């Protein structure tokens, strides 16, 4: 139990660092009217990955911490840090809930079952972000901060979150497909080796018989 907690905390810290690096240095930022901005990035993918590896709570916290720190160090996004933490934590929470509590991917040995529920969990987690990130962001800017041009930001946020979600779902599908192909090749290789051993055993038995 102690080693498991250390393992989860280590992966959580790793996800936090990874999400910070991806969000901070590998994003395409778009400046909006009123001094606001949005961006294309794969930071949400880290929230999903963490949730699939260590569960929704740890994975969500890791991704949320990393991207929130990224907001805090960016003068444009610093005011949105609380919103970022809540939304990114929810991505991980939803993904982990569906993947582990409903799909039971951590205990299943069926690769097709694991792939199916991984994709379902990813779509649901990122689908939540596609819907609620723009809406929550609009409420946050318009009501809490009284920021102008919130309608323009809403449209751009919908666009960027949708593209980010599609990229992550595609990468999940391609990764799962390639894993399945590699496994099928491994199984075929093992079968061929077993058949060769059987034929070799048959030849040796025939040789012994004729020598007698």
pLDDT of residue 150: 44
pTM confidence score: 0.68
Write the DSSP assignment of the chain as a string of letters.
-HHHHHHHHHHHHHHHHHHHHHHHHS-EEEE-GGG-EEEE-SHHHHHHHHHHHH-HHHHHHHHHHHHHHHHHT-TTTGGGHHHHHHHHHHHHHHHHIIIIIIS-TTT---HHHHHHHHHHHHHHHHHHHHHHHHHHHHHIIIIIS--S-HHHHHHHHHHHHHHHHHHHHHHHHHHHHHHHHHHHHHHHHHHHHHHHHHHHHHHHHHHHHHH-
Non-local (6+) Cβ contacts of 17 within 8 A are: 66
First to last CA, the chain: 62
pLDDT of residue 100: 95
Show pLDDT as tens, one digit a residue, over the chain (212 residues). Answer: 678 889 999 999 999 999 999 988 888 887 766 666 777 888 899 999 999 999 999 999 999 999 999 999 988 888 888 889 999 999 999 999 999 999 999 999 999 999 999 999 999 999 998 888 878 777 776 666 565 544 444 444 555 555 555 655 565 555 554 444 444 444 344 444 455 544 444 434 343 333 44
**51 near 118, Cβ under 8 Å?**
no
């Amino acid at each position: 139990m102690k080693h498991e907690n250390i393992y989860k905390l280590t992966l959580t810290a790793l996800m936090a660092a990874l999400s910070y690096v991806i969000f901070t240095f590998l994003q395409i930022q778009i400046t909006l009217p009123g001094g606001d901005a949005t961006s294309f990035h794969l930071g949400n993918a880290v929230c999903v990955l963490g949730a699939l590896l260590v569960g929704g709570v740890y994975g969500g916290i890791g991704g949320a911490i990393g991207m929130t720190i990224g907001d805090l160090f960016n003068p444009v996004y610093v005011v949105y840090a609380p919103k970022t933490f809540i939304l990114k934590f929810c991505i991980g929470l939803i993904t982990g809930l569906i993947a582990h509590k409903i799909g039971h991917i951590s205990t299943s040995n069926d690769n097709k079952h694991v792939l199916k529920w991984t994709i379902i969990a990813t779509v649901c987690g990122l689908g939540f972000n596609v819907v609620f990130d723009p809406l929550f962001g609009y409420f946050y800017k318009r009501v809490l901060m009284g920021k102008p041009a919130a309608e323009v930001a809403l449209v751009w946020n919908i666009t960027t979150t949708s593209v980010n979600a599609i990229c992550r779902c595609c990468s999940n599908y391609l990764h799962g497909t390639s894993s399945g192909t590699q496994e099928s090749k491994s199984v075929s290789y093992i079968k061929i080796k077993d058949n060769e051993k059987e034929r070799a055993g048959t030849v040796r038995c025939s040789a012994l018989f004729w020598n007698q």
